[in-house]
Amino acid sequence: MSADWFAPHAAGFGPLVARLVARDIPSSIQRRAEDNALIFSSETMPRAVLAYCRGLFRLIGEAPGGLESAARELARDPDIPERIASGPRIASSRGPRSFVLRAFKPDDPASLPRGPRAALEEMIALRTGARPDSERPDCEYRLQERADGTTLFLERITQTPEPPTRPGELPKTTCRLLAEMTDPRPDDVFLDPFCGYGGIALERALAAPYRFVFASDIDPEKAASVKVSLSAHIFERRRKTIFPKARDALDGAAFEAGFVTAIATDPPWGLYEGGPGLERAEALQRGFLTEAERLLAPGGRLVLLASRGAELEAGASFAQREAFDVLVSGKKAKALRLDRI
């Protein structure tokens, strides 16, 4: 039986996420692509999207208007109880004994008046046998008000949200999206020369087959942290093909010309986390574009995350394939894909 799914993702990557869902779930039908979420139908549990989406929710219903009016309408909808009762749900091994109902505005958590909240909670309790418990819930239900004027009634399918990041570290799902922008290929020699804690390189290793993955950073402690990450069981069969190292991104002696086939990286923007300053950061990015021109073989792909206001000149050796205006930790950025001619 087909179900509707709500998959939130990093803001601005909508076209890429839609493309990935079509690739990973060919039988899915995409209903609505938004700036930071995709709604689609699928007969199977779409677990593949969890690599690049920030969670997965089953869409139970939707109603026009804000949280309060939509909640009242949903509580009166005769089809909602059956939709609550059907379909998969995350629960503890002892069964779904408790649940929580949360409400969100387009960007922030919100409160829901007692009346409509009680009506929805009663409906959920009757159909699931669980009781409201905001402290230790087995299940989560959510009212999500959208910018288009509708409110969605959702049930969380993923157990936990994405773990918190360290200062300057990209979320894992953003790292996967940047890696996917390179159009991963089995013969790839992949490089992230500003790897930080290694998120992009490690996600590339998990995304698809490759020949080698190189991750380097001028900070020895961050390069060492990548080695620690490689001790995880998930990298057991990949460790011998992933090479973290402390290295200057502009050191031209590390690789022969044309050795690399794909680069995805997040160089310093200069504006945040004690960066080198905008002018020096842009000079560093321009210097690396020159080095990338040497490193990449013809047909190689370069994905670069930069401040949206950055002035970058890629030169005649690169053709821009695609660009997304995105948000990274609430900051305006752009993700660029440049192909080596």
Q: For 210-226, write each residue's pLDDT tens digit.
A: 999 999 999 999 999 99
Contact status, residue 161 vs residue 73, Cβ threshold 8 Å = no
The stretches in the chain having pLDDT less than 50 are: 90-93, 272-274
> At 157, which amino acid appears?
I
DSSP string, 4-60: EEEEE-STT-HHHHHHHHHHH-TT-EEEEE-SSEEEEEESS--GGGGGTSS--EEEE
Residue 153 DSSP one-character state = E
* Structure tokens that stand for 313 in this block: 């000149």
Instruction: CATH 3.30.2130.30 in the chain: give the residue spans.
Output: 3-156
CATH fold for domain 3-156? VC0802-like (3.30.2130)
What is the predicted pLDDT for the residue at 1? 72
Full-model pTM: 0.93
- Reported as type and span, the H/E element at residue 234 is none
Going by their DSSP bridges, the two strands 296-307 and 260-265 should be labelled as: parallel
Instruction: CATH 3.40.50.150 in the chain: give the residue spans.
Output: 172-340
Write the CATH number of the domain with boundaries 172-340.
3.40.50.150
What is the predicted pLDDT for the residue at 279? 75
Would you give the end-to-end CA distance of the chain in angstroms?
Answer: 47
Distance of CA 36 to CAs 155, 169, 337, Å?
A: 18, 20, 20
Sign of the dihedral through C-alpha 262, 326, 230, 273: positive
pLDDT tens-digit map of 236-277: 999 999 999 999 999 988 899 999 999 999 998 865 444 556
What is the predicted pLDDT for the residue at 91? 42
CA nearest neighbour of 77 among 89, 59, 60: 60
What is the predicted pLDDT for the residue at 161? 61
Sign of the dihedral through C-alpha 73, 78, 79, 81: positive
